[in-house]
Copies of this chain bind each other. A is one copy, B any other.
């Protein structure tokens, strides 16, 4: 039976994150000590590792919840349900890639047009393109709200 920080070092999730996942129904400690400490058995650890793997792939916590409910009774669920979740995620990823590639293309064109030198930006072609709005940004408009965030840790 592992304590929360031991589960943390085994899975690479912080105790904070483990409690957060518990609050959202993803992970549970099958036992608690009298003083309230969480204790995780092998089955709990396997579930937590499943969550970690799914998260690393990029599934949302909501997706992971669905995958977990399939996991607890596989006879009640089909391969199709699993592929539906996976394909939906892949569709999202593909859409996002397309948006980012549109941004990439636009930014590259802008960079190619500008000398990038130390002279005054008076005739800078990037500035001119932005002024004139003659920028091929089709597809990029929807892309950038949350496109460039990061997660710090593993």
How many subunits of this chain does the assembly comprise?
Answer: 2
Q: Contact at B83–A114, with CB atoms within 8 Å? A: yes
Q: Contact at B141–A70, with CB atoms within 8 Å? A: no
Q: Interface size class for chain A?
A: 35 or more
A149 lies within 8 A of chain B by Cβ: yes
Query: Inside 8 A of A33's CB, which chain B residues have their CB?
Result: none
Shortest CB–CB separation between residue A151 and chain B, in angstroms?
4
CB closest chain-B residue, reference A90: B107
Q: Contact at B145–A151, with CB atoms within 8 Å? A: yes
CB closest chain-B residue, reference A83: B116
CB closest chain-B residue, reference A111: B86
Query: Inside 8 A of A137's CB, which chain B residues have their CB?
Result: 53, 56-58
CB closest chain-B residue, reference A141: B56
A124 lies within 8 A of chain B by Cβ: yes
Q: Annotate A119-153 by CB proximity to B: 1 below 8 A, 0 otherwise.
A: 11110101100110101010011111111111100
Chain A to chain B: the 5 pairs with minimum beta-carbon distance, closest first: A146-B149, A58-B144, A146-B146, A83-B116, A145-B151
